[in-house]
Amino acid sequence: MKRWFHATLLIFIIVILSSCGGKAPLEDLTLAFIIGIDLDEENNLVFYELNPVFGEGTRTGIETYKVKAKTIRDSRRLFDALTTGEVTAGKIQVLLLGKRVLQHGDWFPILDTVYRNPTFSMSTRVVTVDGPVSKVILYNPEEKHQLSLHLKALIDKNYDRTRAVKGTLQELHREINEKGMTPFISEVKKEKNLELSGISLLDNNGKYAQFLNVPEATLLLMLQNKKRKEVTLTIPVLPNDGEKNIFHKNVISFAASRVKTKIKSGYKQNKFHFDIKVKMTINIVERLFPEERLSKEQLTKEVEKELSTQIDSLMKKIQKKKIDPIGLGLYARAYQYNHYKKVENNWGESLAESDINVSVKVNINSNGAVEQ
Amino acid sequence: MINYTKNQITFMQFIFLIHGVQVGVGLLTLPRELAEKAGTDGWIALIIGWLFSTLASLIIIQVMKKYPNGTIIDLITHFFGKWVGKIAAFIFGLYFAFIGSIVFVREGLFIQFWVLPQTNLFLLLFLLSIPSYLIVRNNITILGRYAELVFFMTTWMLFFYFTPLKEAHWLHLLPLIKEGWKPILTAAKTTIFSFLGFEIAFFLYPFLQKKQKASIGIVIANTLTLAVFLIVTIVAFIFYSPDEITQYKEPTITLLKIVEFKFLERLEIVFLSLYIFVISTTVLPLFFSTVFSAGQFFGKQDHSKYVVWLLLLNLVYVLLLPQSFAGNRQLQKGMESISLILVYAFPLCLWVYLWLYSCVKRRVFK
């Protein structure tokens, strides 16, 4: 009797076991891999969605849709009307934002559902598109991997080489909300090919403020102490030889094995002061001029000089736009809390007025495998 | 009189039982609650909370020492008479039933929100009730073993919290004591409740094998809890900007959304599924204390019958009244003042009384 009771109970429990009924075969799902948000000429929000097609009898393997909708969630309704399966958001790899969207200061709330709805992945890469998003999302060359894989790999690889930011949704949320810093996102453009062009710097509200090309992006990342697996820079250390300089015989390339940025903050005469000290150990990987033109000491000096000029001009650019992608505000908060608290809501302006000193210290470690 | 020597718990089980009751659903929202009150200084409040809870725990042990072979209810019966004992059993039973049920429902709500959004809450709790029944109907030894097993089964999950450290911003923690001590003390009020659960020692003490180690055991349990709380809170503080952390309802879960393996995304679902075990070590001892008190109230040795009634009552309650996070939170807020009396004030008064009592008694004997 007791055994029967147990058996019935077991069957009963198995039958009501939750979540077994709602199975979802891959073929019946439409996994959005890329979502694009853009504005058309009349400033209407346009949403793009790219998803792979599984199963036989399909040709290209991916499909792309474009809809006009009010919000991201609203766009799902329209995508559902177009696709075979249920549109699922959990696997979005890349979120493309048109530059035209970013040029309006108050765009960030349109991403609300991404953070409110727990099914969204927080590691989706956010990427700015210079130009219309449609050009990127409809780009589907035969010889490349599928666009979502390609874009993600493009970002991640350059992230590893300290040239781009991952710019995940999580990071974006932090940077937008943090008062002591401003957001920055990797930027791509489609000319003939799809290429990573640099980093877009946004202001406190998320409005597009400044574009940085890839070498500048590397410097910015170095200042943030975000050196990844590799940092390579190519800089001129000798004066330009005039028109003969077809082969850029004045440049040197080096890989930095160690980059350490120390930032000290202070407050004097109603102004914030920042001392930025960059210390790096470098290995020369390319030198197009003969060794005797510069001794090791001179070379070190020249590299230091060139780097600090470049960083200086980067800082000028940042200060001019009243933004703070480095996060100097974090240092101000940590060490000058009371002064910072007074200006935290207008941190960009305070930073624009503050004094920033940059010094670079270089230690040349090796000259490579060839003597000369 | 119940024979407490038959089913005993070891020193380790004693520690893990108390620690298990302390760490539960509260941890999921703890970093946000602290950040709301004291910003990134909130972790200091944890240490203050730990101090208070350790003190209160030691007082509880001191009280229990006066009557080592019985629970708090036996102790009260011994010193104050049968009827006061009944009242105590009633109050304690009700208290543990309420706390247990609040945590139980909250557990269901979390699972529903994060893992199974389309499943009925009643069904989830019904499914959880079955294993709960199978464990609580047994004696305390089984419960102790369960707590020990779950501890070793789930502590490794803490290592997930070291992954976000890759993007840590230690600067968030500076300067220490930003706005003075006032916000920290406000946050300490929250943390005192986070450490609740050591009151289970009222019922565990008579079962403990080596009673001379009770004090050290309860201190270890509290410290273990402090360590878990501190790790999670500090990781959340240095990962999230102080300006954004208050926007996340459960930062402890959201933190895991960024941990990602090649073969696995949305780790928080896996985590939460395992975390059910951790929450169960809160709920089950609370339910056990409830039915144990009920047994003593009705003067019955066997408490397994009451387990069914308790779980059924719970289910009926969930079926009849719609549940929400806000409502659940409200209930918990209501219980907090009762906790304060029962866990902090009551043992202290009892301790002072018993101390005076023994003084007077000694003098009479002279």
Tally Cβ neighbours within 10 Å of residue B191.
Answer: 30
Contact B118 A118 (CB under 8 A): no
Residue A315: inside a domain: yes
> A40-73 pLDDT, tens per residue?
888 889 999 888 887 666 556 788 888 898 888 8
Torsions phi, psi for A21 (to 5 deg)? -70, -35
Of B119, B127, B257, the CB nearest to A122: B257
Q: Say yes or no: A91 contacts chain B, CB-CB below 8 A.
A: yes
Q: Tell me the nearest-neighbour CA distance from B304 into chain A, angstroms.
A: 17
Together in a domain, A145 and A268: no
Together in a domain, A195 and A236: no
> B56-110 pLDDT, tens per residue?
999 999 888 888 888 888 888 888 888 888 998 999 999 999 999 999 999 999 8
Strand A45-52 relative to strand A62-68, pairing: antiparallel
> B27-48 pLDDT, tens per residue?
999 999 999 988 888 899 999 9
Contacts of B358 (CB under 8 A, 6+ apart): B66
Q: Tell me the nearest-neighbour CA distance from A264 into chain B, angstroms.
A: 12
> A215-263 pLDDT, tens per residue?
899 989 888 888 888 888 888 888 776 666 677 778 888 888 888 999 9
Q: Produce one character per residue of B244-266: b if its CB has 16 or more CB atoms within 10 Å, e if not.
A: bbbebebbbbbbbbbbbeeeebb
Together in a domain, A263 and A182: no
* Last-in-domain residue among A174, A207, A223: A223
Is residue B227 within 8 A of residue B74, CB to CB? The reply is no
Together in a domain, A187 and A235: no
Using CA atoms, how far apart are residues B10 and B3, in angstroms rounded to an integer? 17
Residue A77: inside a domain: yes
Range B205-221 average pLDDT: 90
Q: Say yes or no: A118 contacts chain B, CB-CB below 8 A.
A: yes
Q: Tell me the nearest-neighbour CA distance from B114 into chain A, angstroms.
A: 7
Using CA atoms, how far apart are residues B274 and B265, in angstroms rounded to an integer? 16
Residue A146: inside a domain: yes
* Last-in-domain residue among A189, A223, A257: A223
Together in a domain, A317 and A270: yes
Interface A-B: count of C-beta contacts within 8 A: 62
What's residue A244's pLDDT? 66
The residue among B115, B244, B268 with the most chain A CBs within 10 A of its CB, best to mutate, is B244
Q: Specify the DSSP class assigned to residue A286.
A: E
Contact B171 A330 (CB under 8 A): yes
Look at residue B226 and tell me whether its pLDDT is greater than 90. Answer: yes
Residue A7: inside a domain: no
* Last-in-domain residue among A223, A247, A264: A223
CATH code of the domain containing A340: 3.30.300.210
Look at residue B309 and tell me whether its pLDDT is greater than 80. Answer: yes
Q: Comparing C-alpha atoms, which of B36, B254, B43 is closest to residue B161?
A: B254
**What is the end-to-end Cα distance of chain A in Å, rounded?**
94
Of A263-277, B165-179, B192-206, give the lowest mean pLDDT range. Answer: B165-179
What's residue A242's pLDDT? 65
Model's pTM, two decimal places? Answer: 0.87
Q: Which of chain A's residues have a Cβ under 8 Å away from the Cβ of B124?
A: 18
Q: Which of chain B's residues have a Cβ under 8 Å away from the Cβ of A115?
A: 247
What band does A366 get if pLDDT is binned at 50, 70 and 90? Answer: confident
When the pLDDT of each residue in chain B is averaged and rounded to a whole number, the result is: 87
Residue A12: inside a domain: no
Together in a domain, A150 and A209: yes
Together in a domain, A145 and A286: no
Of B124, B175, B257, the CB nearest to A334: B175
Q: Which of chain B's residues have a Cβ under 8 Å away from the Cβ of A91?
A: 265
Look at residue A18 and tell me whether its pLDDT is greater than 60. Answer: no
Nearest chain A residue to B121, by CA: A18
Residue A3: inside a domain: no
Contact B114 A118 (CB under 8 A): yes
> A250-308 pLDDT, tens per residue?
888 888 888 899 999 888 888 899 999 999 998 888 888 887 788 888 888 888 999 99
Q: Torsion-angle region of residue B39: left (phi > 0), alpha (psi -120 to 50) or beta?
A: left
Q: Which of chain B's residues have a Cβ under 8 Å away from the Cβ of A22?
A: 118
The residue among A170, A226, A342 with the most chain B CBs within 10 A of its CB, best to mutate, is A170
Contact A177 B244 (CB under 8 A): yes
Together in a domain, A358 and A337: yes
Using CA atoms, how far apart are residues B88 and B97, in angstroms rounded to an integer? 14
Cα dist. B335→B31, B185, B293, B330, B347 in Å?
A: 21, 20, 18, 9, 17
Residue A15: inside a domain: no
Tally Cβ neighbours within 10 Å of residue B77.
Answer: 21
Contact B171 A90 (CB under 8 A): no
Q: A282 lies in which domain range?
A: 231-372
Strands lying side by side in the sheet with A34-39 = A62-68, A45-52, A34-39, A94-98, A125-130, A184-190, A194-202, A208-213
Q: Tell me the nearest-neighbour CA distance from A3 into chain B, angstroms.
A: 16
Per-residue H/E/C for B145-191: HHHHHHHHHHHHHHHHHHHHHHHCCHHHHCCCCCCCCHHHHHHHHHH
Contact B243 A179 (CB under 8 A): yes
Together in a domain, A218 and A275: no
What band does A7 get if pLDDT is binned at 50, 70 and 90? Answer: confident
Look at residue A317 and tell me whether its pLDDT is greater than 80. Answer: yes
> A111-153 pLDDT, tens per residue?
999 888 888 888 889 999 988 888 888 887 777 778 888 888 8
DSSP three-state, residue A120: coil
Q: Tell me the nearest-neighbour CA distance from B187 into chain A, angstroms.
A: 20
Tally Cβ neighbours within 10 Å of residue A161.
Answer: 17
Together in a domain, A72 and A215: yes
Q: Specify the DSSP class assigned to residue B343.
A: I
How would DSSP label each residue in B291-313? Answer: HHHHHHHHT-S--HHHHHHHHHH
Residue A17: inside a domain: no
What's residue B32's pLDDT? 92
Report, in angstroms and rounded to the nearest whole number, the Rg of chain B calculated over CA atoms: 21
Q: Tell me the nearest-neighbour CA distance from A222 into chain B, angstroms.
A: 15
User: What part of A 144-183 touches B (C-beta under 8 Å)?
Assistant: 168, 170-171, 173-174, 177-180
Together in a domain, A76 and A173: yes
Range A147-173 average pLDDT: 87
What is the count of structural domains for chain A?
2
Look at residue B243 and tell me whether its pLDDT is greater than 70. Answer: yes
Range B133-159 average pLDDT: 89
Together in a domain, A150 and A236: no
What's residue B48's pLDDT? 92
Q: Tell me the nearest-neighbour CA distance from B299 into chain A, angstroms.
A: 29
Contact A123 B247 (CB under 8 A): no
Contact A337 B243 (CB under 8 A): no
